[in-house]
Amino acid sequence: MHVPLNVFTEGGGLIDDVDGEITKSEFTLFDYSGKGSITVPAYHCTIDVDGTPFDQYWSCGSIDEWRPSKDGRFIEPVGGATGLRKNSNAAVLFASMAAADAKLGALLNEGDAGKLLGLKAHWLRVPAPKRGGVGEKRQGVDGKEYDVTVLTVSRVIAMPGTGSGGGTKAGGASGSSTDGSGEAGGIAEAALVEYLVDHPEGIARKSLAPTLVKITAGKAKPQEILALAKTDEWVSSLGTVALADGVIKLVEVE
């Protein structure tokens, strides 16, 4: 069972108030870098800030409630949980993402951490949620107590797969074919034809990219699909469909 990441019932260096891009995204087990006595399920991502990678972790809750999937893409319930607890650090992060951009919120609904690869955002720390009615404190190296904070997204700069400059880091293949002659082109054409069979009224040209990404999910890399759909050349090269008056339809065979 996979749970959505925006339905709710914490590594390597503190960053704050910076722009950065997610270059690795997964669910894993985290032992607080050996500093804690427990291991917890957590969301982990590597954020690239001006060429410097920072590993960040957000706890999802108890290991008795959640486990990462074998491929690390999903967080799976051990018992009957249906969503992350609202006061978990991971929930705070994912809620901030959904609040920053509605499209990102819809993406989170798929529950797939891999879909966040390539997200470029402004990252900002906020106070951790109160647990047990009190705010969390942590002792700094100077001996003083500081409020515990959670890293969140305050603004989306570029959505995953939109070619923000980190396509290769986000799983895209530099040098992959964008003229439709490669594997992604064949997958995209087959999926488009199948879609149009069920939708004879056609699809608006402006809706091609998001529709193609959706109907080829799990079959081809979103970056490659987006590259194909970006211009009219690929559509024009297909013998199975035609573009007219801003609408793509199947070619009628007499």
pLDDT in tens, 60-73: 988 889 999 999 99
pLDDT for residue 27:
95
Residue type, 37: S
142 contacts: CB under 8 Å, gap ≥ 6: none
Question: Can you tell me the distance from the alpha carbon of 41 to that of 111, in angstroms, rounded to the nearest whole number?
Answer: 15
> Quick one: pLDDT at residue 190?
84
Joined together, the tokens standing for residue 24 give 């690795």
Q: Please state, for a pLDDT cut of 70, what percent of the chain lies above it.
A: 77
Tell me the per-residue pLDDT of 95-135, one tens digit each, with 9 for 90 and over: 999 999 988 988 999 999 999 999 999 999 998 877 664 44
Helix (H) or strand (E) holding 79: none
More confident residue, 232 or 46: 46
Q: State residue 85 phi and psi, 5-degree precision.
A: -65, 140
Q: Work out the average pLDDT over 24-51.
A: 86
Complete DSSP assignment for 190-252: HHHHHHHHH-TT-EEGGGHHHHHHHHTTTTS-HHHHHHHHTSHHHHHH-SSEEEETTEEEEPP
**Residue 184 CA, distance from chain mean position:** 20
Give, for 24, the enclosing helix (H) or strand (E): strand 18-30
Sign of CA pseudo-dihedral 120, 121, 123, 126: negative
Provide the pLDDT for residue 43. Answer: 96
Residues ≥6 apart with Cβ < 8 Å to 108: 4, 5, 6, 94, 97, 98
Query: Phi-psi region for residue 50, left (φ > 0), alpha (ψ -120 to 50) or beta?
Result: left
Q: Which residues contact 48 (CB under 8 A, 6 or more apart)?
A: 20, 21, 22, 23, 54, 166, 169
- Of 83-92, 174-183, 217-226, the range with the lowest mean pLDDT is 174-183
Max distance between CA atoms of the chain, in angstroms, equals 82
Would you list the domain boundaries of the chain? 18-158, 183-250
- Rounded to whole angstroms, the Cα distance separating 57 from 42 reads 6
Q: Is the pLDDT of residue 145 over 80?
A: no
CA distance 172 to 155: 23
